[in-house]
Amino acid sequence: MTLCTYSGEHELANAVATEIINLIKEKPTAVICFASGNSPKLSCEHFVNMALSADVETSQFFFIGLDEWVGVPPAMRGSCHYDFQERIFNPLNIPSSQYHLFDALSTDLQVECDKMDKVIADKGGIDLMIVGIGMNGHIGFNEPGTKFELRSHVVQLDPITKSVGQKYFDQQMQLEKGITLGFEHLLRSKRVLLLANGISKAQVIKQAVEGPVNIDFPASVMQLHSNGTIMVDEAAASLLSEN
């Protein structure tokens, strides 16, 4: 795992977008998994702008959605599906044949997990994962205590996730469960970028980078990835020992 610090959020987003564009140019059929949430928002904007302005061929890459809130309709602002649609599918005209997202309204969520695992396996694995970090150290909805060996699974959300998650919605939500890729996917992904901006992420970044590797702090899994990079702005890096 490496750590890269950027002077600001635009510099960080630009680096992320450049990496996505380079991957797509090199391997047009690349499988790319995104988190939703605030951390990758600007990177998505930069990616879309670069793809459109440089006329990059985006008709062959395959998009995987990292996770979803169980029971939240895809068209509702705040769902991961909504973010992906607004940020990437609509601006780049990506058809539904070019992505796979969890159906979190399914009556059989285990089937959804199996489907996701099969899609990833059939595509030959994930080339690039772009993830954020939660205030409890989660990645996706891999909450504290989640085994690193899991593939897609359904989780009971941690109280911190239920409370912080309210920020994405226009109304108070009853958030109980999530459906998410697991760390087996992350550890097998050829490349992983974990993004964090702002002073509010400084403590969790310190723990992810300098703390012990332990399922009680899920983002410590990044230390096990030989081609993973934690990309932070100066504020998120401010508590690291080398500063």
Residues binding ligand F6R (CB under 6 A): 35-39, 66-67, 80, 131-134, 138-140
Q: Which of 136, 184, 214, 234 is catalytic?
A: 136
Q: Which of 19, 112, 127, 143 is catalytic?
A: 143
* Residue 233 designated active-site: no
Q: Which of 19, 67, 127, 158 is catalytic?
A: 67
Rounded to whole angstroms, the Cα distance separating 46 from 21 reads 10
Tell me the residue number closest to ligand F6R, measured at CB: 132
Q: State in angstroms the smallest separation of the CB of 195 from ligand F6R.
A: 8
Q: Which is nearer to ligand F6R, 26 or 99 (CB)?
A: 99
Q: State in angstroms the smallest separation of the CB of 20 from ligand F6R.
A: 17
Rounded to whole angstroms, the Cα distance separating 34 from 65 reads 6
Q: Which is nearer to ligand F6R, 38 or 203 (CB)?
A: 38
Count of all residues that appear for the chain in the document: 243
Q: Which is nearer to ligand F6R, 44 or 66 (CB)?
A: 66
* Residue 225 designated active-site: no
Helix (H) or strand (E) holding 100: strand 99-100
Q: How many CB atoms lie within 10 A of CB 8?
A: 12
* Residue 227 designated active-site: no
- Using alpha carbons, list the distances in angstroms from residue 37 to 81, 195, 196, 241: 11, 11, 11, 28
Q: Which of 46, 81, 100, 138 is catalytic?
A: 138
Burial of 81 per CB tally in 10 Å (0-12, 13-18, 19+): buried
User: Position 163: which residue type?
Assistant: S
The stretches of 94-179 forming alpha helices (DSSP H) are 109-122, 159-164
* Residue 26 designated active-site: no
Q: Which is nearer to ligand F6R, 19 or 40 (CB)?
A: 40
Q: State in angstroms the smallest separation of the CB of 164 from ligand F6R.
A: 7
Q: State in angstroms the smallest separation of the CB of 117 from ligand F6R.
A: 17
For 16, phi then psi, to 5°, come to -65, -50
The residues assigned a catalytic role are 67, 136, 138, 143
